[in-house]
């Protein structure tokens, strides 16, 4: 069994901790990315140790196995616990004696340079990863983000979510001789031309982390002739969908986008695919998504079931409009995700019959609820209850 120290070297040659220096000094062999090895060589002036410029877990494990040395230092940038290669390397070296040596991460260094505490910040990485930065910014006062040649893309996503005016502190090449720190509006990120090693800190003083349900109807942008699921029905739909934060959710026949919006609040770590065949309705959905500052909605303008074929596997699906294709749509959904949670609304008995028949034909037991809601309306100083159209909610499948 060999001894391996996986050491975070911080953000530059001046941020090496004493523990990291001791681990590097004791090691017979150094392993790490070329830039990391060069940083350590400049700082500690050690050129005599055998060094191997690699960082993939498989390559590191091979070198440790083949080399006769017993003490190794595997060097990683930043800290071993913050979006680091350390976890994968540690797993590949499972048969050896592995220890972690912490380093100064970019998040700690950047907040220190800004003279700000970081304990309440949301921490995300968009460096080689797909992440919904817009929704993090909407839900948190402080959002720290690692990037990788994609600051323009992040800026566009925030602008699409209506968050272009949020201030962002930008740190380029933190810890290096070319370090640069400045502040801009999120919508201006595409114009900054930031290098690969850039970190961002968004400050949203008007953040909103609520998971909303039954949003008042007047808060949605409406258009004549485009249907909208009313607030009372939406609240029941969301309760029947039982959405989890990381779910993929389909809204088929999305109309105005009211269910899309409420589902997007619920699946803030996942994604919503709003499927709508009408072009005017699709534009309205985009407006409502931006109005509520949501960054996890993908609009699919097309006819179901054909439009569903390329979508990712859903955990839950709502069918608010089927265009007379209820059976083919349900069949397409179940082919993609047999364990899906399905909720359907109907305002005609024919649609109820078609939905129940399709579900039972697929071996699913349909739960049927009809909602008759009435709203108070003031007339001559008095209140009268005014009935809304009855809606049937049909649900089936998914976890108990």
**Every domain of the chain and the residues it spans:** 3-104, 107-203, 217-397
Identify whether the C-beta of residue 270 lies closer than 8 Å to the C-beta of residue 249: yes
Write out pLDDT tens, residues 249-261. Answer: 999 999 999 999 9
Check residue 43 and give its pLDDT.
Answer: 82
Does the global pTM surpass 0.95? no
Check residue 381 and give its pLDDT.
Answer: 87
Write out pLDDT tens, residues 164-210. Answer: 999 999 999 998 889 999 999 999 999 888 999 999 999 999 999 98
Mean pLDDT over the full length of the chain: 93
The yes-or-no answer to whether 3-104 and 217-397 have a common fold is: no
Average pLDDT in the 4-20 region? 92
The confidence band for 50, taking pLDDT boundaries of 50, 70 and 90, is: very high
Q: In Å, what is the CA distance from 109 to each residue of 79, 175, 298, 320, 390?
A: 11, 8, 35, 49, 58
Write out pLDDT tens, residues 335-384. Answer: 999 999 999 999 999 999 999 999 998 889 999 999 999 999 989 889 99
The confidence band for 400, taking pLDDT boundaries of 50, 70 and 90, is: very low
User: Cα separation of 101 and 118, whole Å?
Assistant: 21
Identify whether the C-beta of residue 8 lies closer than 8 Å to the C-beta of residue 79: yes
Check residue 399 and give its pLDDT.
Answer: 66
Check residue 280 and give its pLDDT.
Answer: 95
**DSSP sequence for 44-79:** H---SS-EEE---HHHHHHHHHHS--SEEEEEESB-
* Element housing 199 (H / E): strand 198-203
Q: Please state which CATH number belongs to domain 107-203.
A: 3.30.950.10
Higher pLDDT, 95 or 107: 107
Of all residues in the chain, what percent carry a pLDDT higher than 90? Answer: 86
The confidence band for 6, taking pLDDT boundaries of 50, 70 and 90, is: very high
CATH topology of domain 3-104: Cobalt-precorrin-4 Transmethylase; domain 1 (3.40.1010)
Is the CATH number of domain 217-397 3.40.630.30? no
């Amino acid at each position: 069994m060999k001894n391996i120290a996986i050491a975070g070297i911080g953000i530059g040659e001046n941020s090496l901790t004493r523990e990291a220096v001791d681990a590097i000094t004791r090691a017979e062999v150094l392993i790490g990315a070329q830039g990391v090895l060069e940083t350590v060589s400049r700082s500690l002036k050690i050129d005599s140790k055998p060094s191997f410029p690699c960082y993939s877990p498989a390559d590191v494990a091979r070198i440790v196995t083949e080399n006769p040395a017993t003490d190794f230092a595997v060097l990683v940038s930043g800290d071993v616990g913050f979006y680091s290669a350390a976890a994968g390397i540690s797993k590949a070296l499972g048969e050896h004696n592995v220890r972690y040596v912490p380093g100064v991460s970019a998040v700690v260094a950047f907040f220190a340079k800004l003279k700000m505490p970081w304990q309440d910040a949301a921490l995300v990485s968009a460096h080689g990863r797909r992440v919904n930065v817009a929704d993090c910014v909407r839900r948190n006062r402080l959002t720290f983000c690692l990037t990788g040649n994609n600051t323009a893309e992040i800026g566009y996503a925030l602008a699409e979510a209506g968050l272009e005016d949020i201030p962002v502190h930008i740190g380029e090449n933190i810890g290096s001789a070319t370090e640069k720190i400045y502040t801009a509006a999120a919508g201006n990120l595409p114009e900054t031309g930031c290098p690969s090693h850039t970190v961002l800190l968004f400050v949203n003083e008007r953040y909103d982390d609520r998971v909303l349900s039954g949003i008042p109807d007047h808060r949605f942008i409406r258009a004549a002739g485009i249907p909208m699921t009313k607030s009372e029905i939406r609240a029941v739909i969301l309760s029947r969908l039982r959405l989890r934060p990381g779910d993929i959710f389909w809204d088929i026949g999305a109309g105005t986008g009211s269910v899309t919006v409420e589902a997007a609040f619920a699946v803030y770590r996942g994604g919503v695919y709003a499927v709508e065949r009408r072009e005017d309705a699709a534009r309205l959905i985009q407006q409502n998504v931006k109005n509520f500052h949501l960054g996890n909605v993908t609009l699919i303008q097309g006819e179901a079931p054909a439009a569903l074929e390329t979508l990712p596997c859903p955990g839950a699906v709502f069918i608010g409009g089927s265009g007379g294709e209820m059976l083919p749509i349900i069949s397409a959904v179940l082919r993609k995700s047999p364990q899906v949670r399905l909720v359907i609304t109907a305002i005609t008995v024919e649609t109820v019959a078609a939905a129940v028949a399709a579900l039972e034909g697929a071996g699913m037991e349909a739960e049927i609820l009809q909602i008759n809601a009435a709203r108070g309306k003031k007339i001559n100083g008095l209140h009268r209850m005014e009935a809304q159209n009855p809606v049937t909610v049909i649900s089936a499948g998914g976890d108990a």
